[in-house]
């Protein structure tokens, strides 16, 4: 009897101590979100300088956050998210080079699980540093990380979310054990960006769309024919564009020929184009000192592009998505019966321009209609 009373006193004491550690207005906000499975709008977040205060917590359902290891999550970020019924999960990048290192894998999983509990977060979305280059030797190691995480976290709290970011089509890297992974995640997050610019014509590189709809659709169909239906997928769309430097042409030319990369091809999008945030794109379009050729519609990729001369007089072409093209993507996503939609990343918005920023959120939120 004495022991039981002592035990109860201990629990009460322990809970008081614990609740004192909560910095949110309500203690409840320090607990992981108690919401079950739902349609998702995931916003990725990778800028730790305070943008999180400006995110649209009314439209998103989950935030996937990636900060450098030396930066901790502000307590307030957790409070705001939970107060708005939004999950805050780690977006954890795993270095491909360390996959075969068992010590590394186990420490990585332990760190994720420990920090989810310590920071009162809601789960994890894994991604490889170099997601299109998983080797066959490392395939099982990647699946193992996801499986172990799932098996540890789910018994602690079934509402924790475990997921993985993957190429937009299984064909991009057939070394992933997609089906195996799908058993140990709440859903798969596919990356529908940096896709379509590897266009060649007569041996030349041509600038192209960041996220062409026909490819997105093919990618999902190829997952479906592998036995992973749309209901298991969240489709991530870019809130950034691709900025190409054209070797010739003018403000009105549709074709923008691009210098090839070192390997004499167009495969590495990072070497033939620069990523540019939606916020920066709007600034270029509104800059009276920069002449642009006006926004054009690409009816094949269902996205927009424009040419401009930079301050040095060099011709560029930017391919991107705006509310008009995102709207069509939202309905493509619905037609594919996907589980959700995601934005890469919310920090690509310029929050000093709230009208253009919130237009992007509002457009994506049509997914819930
Ligand atoms: C993060 O956001 C701040 C403020 O919006 C901006 O000044 C900074 O350049 C951003 N950092 C990165 C790495 O994008
Ligand atoms: C955190 O680490 C990154 C590299 O991982 C470094 O660039 C940055 O300066 C560090 N920031 C602080 C505050 O130490
Ligand atoms: C394996 O991972 C551990 C822990 O991160 C690290 O100390 C060690 O140097 C790694 N081994 C190799 C060969 O990289
Ligand atoms: C989808 O699969 C087909 C048949 O295997 C293949 O030809 C096509 O390139 C794939 N599409 C994508 C986007 O990977
Ligand atoms: C522009 O450059 C491409 C690739 O070098 C070339 O094929 C094309 O003929 C050029 N066009 C003009 C009008 O010079
Ligand atoms: C455009 O150029 C004028 C004159 O050089 C300068 O005063 C103005 O600040 C510039 N505007 C922008 C948006 O850079």
Protein residue with its CA nearest to atom 4 in ligand 1 = 49
CB 342 within 8 A of CB 237: yes
Q: How many angstroms is it from 123 CA to the middle of ligand 3? A: 25
Protein residue with its CA nearest to atom 6 in ligand 5 = 257
CA distance 196 to 204: 15
Ligand nearest to the CA of 169: 4
CA distance 305 to 109: 42
Whether 368 lines ligand 3, by a CB cut-off of 6 Å, is no
CB 320 within 8 A of CB 264: no
CA distance 95 to 215: 27
Q: What is the pLDDT of residue 19?
A: 45
Protein residue with its CA nearest to atom 1 in ligand 4 = 222
Closest residue by Cα to residue 283 from 210, 345, 359, 356: 356
Whether 287 lines ligand 6, by a CB cut-off of 6 Å, is yes
Q: What is the pLDDT of residue 32?
A: 96
Q: How many angstroms is it from 130 CA to the middle of ligand 2? A: 21
Residues of the chain with pLDDT under 70: 1-20, 196-201
Whether 248 lines ligand 5, by a CB cut-off of 6 Å, is yes
CA distance 63 to 230: 21
Go through 9-25 and write b for each residue having 16 or more CB atoms within 10 A of its CB, e for each that does not: eeeeeeeeeeeeebebe
Q: How many angstroms is it from 232 CA to the middle of ligand 2? A: 36
First-to-last C-alpha distance (Å) of the chain: 57
Q: Using one digit for the tens of pLDDT, what is the confidence trace for 277-304?
A: 999 999 999 999 999 999 999 999 999 9
Residues in contact with ligand 2 by the CB-under-6-Å rule are: 68, 70
- How does DSSP assign 19-88, residue by residue? HHT--SSSGGGGSPP---S--EEEEEE---SSGGGGS-TTT-SEEEE---TTSPPPHHHHHHHHHTT-EE
Q: What is the pLDDT of residue 198?
A: 58
| pTM of the predicted protein model | 0.91
Q: What is the pLDDT of residue 17?
A: 44
Whether 320 lines ligand 5, by a CB cut-off of 6 Å, is no
Q: Using one digit for the tens of pLDDT, what is the confidence trace for 197-238?
A: 556 667 788 999 999 999 999 999 999 999 999 999 999 999
Whether 257 lines ligand 5, by a CB cut-off of 6 Å, is yes
CA distance 222 to 233: 12
Q: Using one digit for the tens of pLDDT, what is the confidence trace for 42-65?
A: 999 999 888 999 999 999 999 999
CA distance 219 to 198: 16
Ligand nearest to the CA of 105: 3
Q: What is the pLDDT of residue 341?
A: 98
Tokens of 365: 């939120």
């Amino acid at each position: 009897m004495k022991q039981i009373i002592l035990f109860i006193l201990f629990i009460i004491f322990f809970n008081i101590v614990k609740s004192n550690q909560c910095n949110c207005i309500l203690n409840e906000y320090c607990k992981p979100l108690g919401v079950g499975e739902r349609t998702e709008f995931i916003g990725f977040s990778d800028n730790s300088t305070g943008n999180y205060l400006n995110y649209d917590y009314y439209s998103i359902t989950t935030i996937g956050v990636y900060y450098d290891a030396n930066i901790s999550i502000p307590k307030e970020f957790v409070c705001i998210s939970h107060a708005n019924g939004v999950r805050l999960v780690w977006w954890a990048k795993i270095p491909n080079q360390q996959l075969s290192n068992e010590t590394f894998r186990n420490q990585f999983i332990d760190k994720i699980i420990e920090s989810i509990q310590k920071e009162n977060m809601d789960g994890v979305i894994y991604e490889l540093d170099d997601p299109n280059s998983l080797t066959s030797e490392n395939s099982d190691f990647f699946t193992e990380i996801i499986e172990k995480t799932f098996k540890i976290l789910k018994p602690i709290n079934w509402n924790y979310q475990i997921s993985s970011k993957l190429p937009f089509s299984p064909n991009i890297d057939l070394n992933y054990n997609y089906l195996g992974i799908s058993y140990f995640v709440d859903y798969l997050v596919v990356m529908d960006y940096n896709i379509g610019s590897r266009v060649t014509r007569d041996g030349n590189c041509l600038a192209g769309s960041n996220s062409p709809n026909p490819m997105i659709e093919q990618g999902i169909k190829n997952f479906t024919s592998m036995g992973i239906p749309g209901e298991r997928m969240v489709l991530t769309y870019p809130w950034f564009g691709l900025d190409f430097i054209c070797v010739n042409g003018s403000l009105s030319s549709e074709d923008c020929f691009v210098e090839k990369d070192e390997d004499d091809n167009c495969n590495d999008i990072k070497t033939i184009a620069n990523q540019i945030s939606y916020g920066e794109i709007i600034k270029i379009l509104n800059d009276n000192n920069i002449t642009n050729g006006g926004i054009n519609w690409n009816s094949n990729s269902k996205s927009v592009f424009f040419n401009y001369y930079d301050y040095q007089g060099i011709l560029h072409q930017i391919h991107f998505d705006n509310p008009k093209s995102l709207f069509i993507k939202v309905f493509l996503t619905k037609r594919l019966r996907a589980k959700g939609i995601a934005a890469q990343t919310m920090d690509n918005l310029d929050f000093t321009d709230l009208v253009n920023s919130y237009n992007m959120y509002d457009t994506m939120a049509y997914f819930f209609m």
